[in-house]
């Protein structure tokens, strides 16, 4: 394409269309990708598992978390349509658990096969680099959110980030989106208790910033919410 920006990876497109668009359509057959479906609450892989797979989310919501010996968990990120999940490991064991929040459709391939192919294709290499950059930027923002924002700001920030990420895949309509997360999920992602999360959602509703009812988030004052949270979505767009 004449416009180089149009050939950049967009997280709302599947790997197959990305590769095909860039002239490596035949290469996709060598990557070993298979499409798999998982029911809600299914564990794709657990912390400690030996795992050498790369995952691309075709549809649904997933959850990536780190489990503590006490049984508590810290949700590190939510895997949404178009996201790439590259398991982090140490000594051969995964450092995270990947869970299906909803019914989840994934493209799955051996990491080694994909990496070898990427060495032969600048487009696939760019795909991996952008995936790692994107994932790192999201995790960095989540760390700053928990470490430096108060409870109200961090709740608003996470919901704004989900909004921005879902907008990229056309999953936001009428200033809102379907959200399968419970207050327990939000608590584990925000470092709060479920009761505290409930209070924060109530305050955001009473201040007419947003509503979260019956699995649907509706933004009432998007600009005001961004100002409250200090939200800058450049790390999602870039």
pLDDT for res 129: 84
CATH number for the domain that contains residue 85:
2.60.120.10
In this predicted structure, what is the pLDDT of residue 7?
30
- How confident is the model over 99-134, as pLDDT tens digits? 999 999 998 988 888 888 878 777 788 878 888 898
Select from 139, 160, 182 the last residue of a domain: 139
Do 162 and 84 lie in one domain? The reply is: no
38 part of a folded domain: yes
**Which residues neighbour 62 within 8 Å (Cβ) at sequence distance 6 or greater?**
44, 78, 79, 80, 83, 85, 98, 99, 100, 101, 104
Q: State residue 62's pLDDT score.
A: 98
Among 112, 139, 166, which residue terminates a domain? Answer: 139
pLDDT of residue 2: 32
**pLDDT in the model for residue 10:** 41
| Residue 27 confidence (pLDDT) | 62
94 and 64 assigned to the same domain: yes
Give, for 234, the enclosing helix (H) or strand (E).
helix 234-237
At which of 139, 168, 186 does a domain end?
A: 139
The segments of the chain whose pLDDT lies below 50 read: 1-13, 20-22
Hunting for tokens 């989840």 — which residue is that? Answer: 104
Angle at 77 (CA atoms; ends 108, 149), nearest 5 degrees: 165
Tell whether 158 and 80 lie within a shared domain.
no
Number of domains in the chain: 2
- Output the pLDDT for position 15: 57
pLDDT of res. 82: 86
What tens digit of pLDDT does each residue of 1-22 get?
333 333 334 433 455 555 544 4
pLDDT at res. 68: 93
Question: How many CB atoms sit inside 10 A of residue 110's CB?
Answer: 14
Give CA separation, 198 vs 61, 76, 151, 191, 193, in Å: 22, 20, 11, 13, 9
Extract the tokens encoding 217: 């988030």
Indicate whether 145 belongs to any domain.
no
- Domain range for 71 is 4-139
Concatenate the DSSP letters of all residues of 163-223 into one string: HHHHHTTT--BTTEEE----HHHHHHHHTS-HHHHHHHHHHHHHTTSEEEETTEEEES-HH
């Amino acid at each position: 394409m004449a416009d180089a920006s149009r050939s950049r990876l967009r997280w709302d497109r599947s790997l197959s269309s990305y590769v095909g668009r860039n002239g490596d359509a035949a290469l996709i057959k060598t990557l070993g990708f298979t499409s798999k479906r998982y029911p809600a609450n299914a564990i794709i892989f657990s912390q400690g598992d030996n795992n050498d797979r790369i995952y691309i989310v075709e549809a649904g919501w997933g959850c990536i978390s780190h489990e503590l010996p006490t049984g508590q968990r810290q949700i590190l990120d939510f895997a949404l349509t178009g996201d790439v999940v590259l398991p982090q490991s140490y000594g051969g064991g995964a450092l995270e658990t990947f869970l299906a929040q909803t019914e989840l459709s994934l493209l799955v391939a051996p990491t080694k096969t994909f990496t070898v192919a990427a060495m032969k294709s600048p487009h696939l290499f760019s795909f991996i680099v952008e995936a790692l950059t994107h994932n790192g930027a999201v995790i960095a923002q989540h760390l700053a959110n928990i470490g430096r924002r108060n409870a109200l700001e961090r709740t608003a920030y996470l919901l704004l980030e989900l909004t921005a990420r879902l907008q990229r895949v056309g999953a936001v309509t009428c200033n809102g989106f379907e959200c399968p997360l419970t207050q327990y999920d939000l608590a584990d992602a925000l470092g709060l208790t479920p009761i505290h999360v409930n209070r924060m959602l109530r305050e955001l509703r009473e201040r007419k910033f947003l509503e979260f009812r019956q699995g649907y988030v509706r933004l009432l004052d998007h600009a005001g919410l961004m100002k409250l949270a200090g939200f800058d979505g450049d790390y999602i767009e870039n």
